[in-house]
Amino acid sequence: MLKGKKIIVGVTGSIAAYKAAIFVRLLVKEGAEVKVLMTEAAKSFISPLTLSTLSKNPVLSDFTQGQEGEWNNHVDLGLWADAFIIAPASANTIAKMANGLCDNLLLATYLSARCPVLFAPAMDLDMYQHPAVQTNIQRLQQFGHTLIEARHGELASGLVGQGRMAEPEELTESLSDFFGRNAPLKGKKVLITAGPTYEAIDPVRFIGNYSSGKMGFALAQEAAQMGAHVTLVAGPTHLVIEHPLVNRINVRSGKEMYEACEEHYATSHINIFAAAVADYAPAQVANHKIKKENDAFEIKLSKTIDIAKTLGSKKREEQFNVGFALETNNEIEHAKGKIKSKNFDLIVLNSLQDTGAGFGHDTNKITLIDKANNIQHFELKSKTEVAKDIIKNIVEKF
């Protein structure tokens, strides 16, 4: 559940800060992208260089860095993260969080964060049991933050009791469980098509299109991040995806793509037809390379199977089908027509009139239209962010 997640680890002034090194290492090992924020007090217990090396990112503690005073934007940091975990969370930092104080980069980022916040207290037993600390912890929980309880054991003071920060393995498990509990597609099966299809003319030539598959792959990644078991049927593309919940099936032609989809369609809950399947294929495929002999050359084409329409005719009430429409004119009307003809619940409209949208780009600009003709427009975004918008919309409607 942590693979691909963007995690901010906040480290505060506690002897338990040494555990942050192991914790960060475990997160990176699980495939998470980690950025570490430290308070000045935390630097007395563990070196920023250690955490920078393990996280593979610069450790941030000041609002500016470098000789030219480059700004560490706490707002961007707060928007970047999928989760913010403060471990260890000292009594001082917990008090500041509970009361909205903001005297360092960690706290400024905390107040700016829109992502879930988890905190793992670490302090001596009498401090931990003090009514002021307990009140602050309860207040943070009332804010919706997740408490990772301090453990019972031997403390740095030599006393034995509750106040010991959870071990790095426990923190990692807690974070993974958190994402698992909050994975809206957990247990669901999602079928996604992506990329182009190549329709053979002869052994060395084909009819194809400019689709890169980037949008379909981004959707597969995001659906898996939401806990879904994804079957990704991909046409020819150089793209790579390694999420453990994604089963990739490589195909070449539209016929192969249909056969792979048909095999998985009946058991799939959500079906997203993002591939750019060729509408026509050569009626006859030459067994040998066709020689260049004449000035003119004709190829007879036959209509290929419409995968989305054919499978849409078999759609059960509990299934949710999503289509894509790439249009150059009368975009809205053409997209609405496809919703009806192909039995879509939702269609994603791209217009080639929009700069930065369509084939080959890392960005996309979409309009979502559902079967009730509700229309939602989005600004130009990266395809990763577009995938989040689409999957979020699917989750809400499904």
Q: What is the set of active-site residues?
A: 209
Q: What region, left, alpha or beta, does residue 195 occupy, with left being phi > 0 and alpha being psi -120 to 50 degrees? A: left
CA distance 124 to 291: 83
3-state SS class at 356: coil
What is the secondary structure of 23-75 as a DSSP string? HHHHHHHTT-EEEEEE-TGGGGTS-HHHHHHHHTS--B-SSEETTTTEE--HH
289 annotated as a binding-site residue:
yes
Among 70, 174, 193, 69, CA closest to 120: 174
CB-based contact 379:353 (threshold 8 Å): no
Among 203, 202, 199, 194, CA closest to 222: 194
CB-based contact 308:344 (threshold 8 Å): yes
Residue 65 φ then ψ, to 5°: -150, 155
DSSP 8-state symbol, 15: G
CB-based contact 77:41 (threshold 8 Å): no
350 DSSP β-pair partners = 326, 366
Residue 106's H or E segment, with its range, is helix 105-112
Through-space distance between the first and last CA atoms of the chain, rounded to whole angstroms:
22
324 annotated as a binding-site residue:
yes
279 annotated as a binding-site residue:
yes
CA distance 229 to 224: 6
User: Strand 346-351 relative to strand 366-370: parallel, antiparallel, unpaired?
Assistant: antiparallel
206 annotated as a binding-site residue:
no
CB atoms within 10 A of CB 116: 17
CA distance 312 to 291: 41
CB atoms within 10 A of CB 158: 7
338 annotated as a binding-site residue:
yes
CA angle, 256 as apex, 251 and 257 as ends, to 5°? 70
CB-based contact 162:152 (threshold 8 Å): yes
Q: What region, left, alpha or beta, does residue 144 occupy, with left being phi > 0 and alpha being psi -120 to 50 degrees? A: left
- Residues annotated in a binding site: 279, 289, 324, 338, 342
- Residues annotated in a binding site for CTP: 279, 289, 324, 338, 342
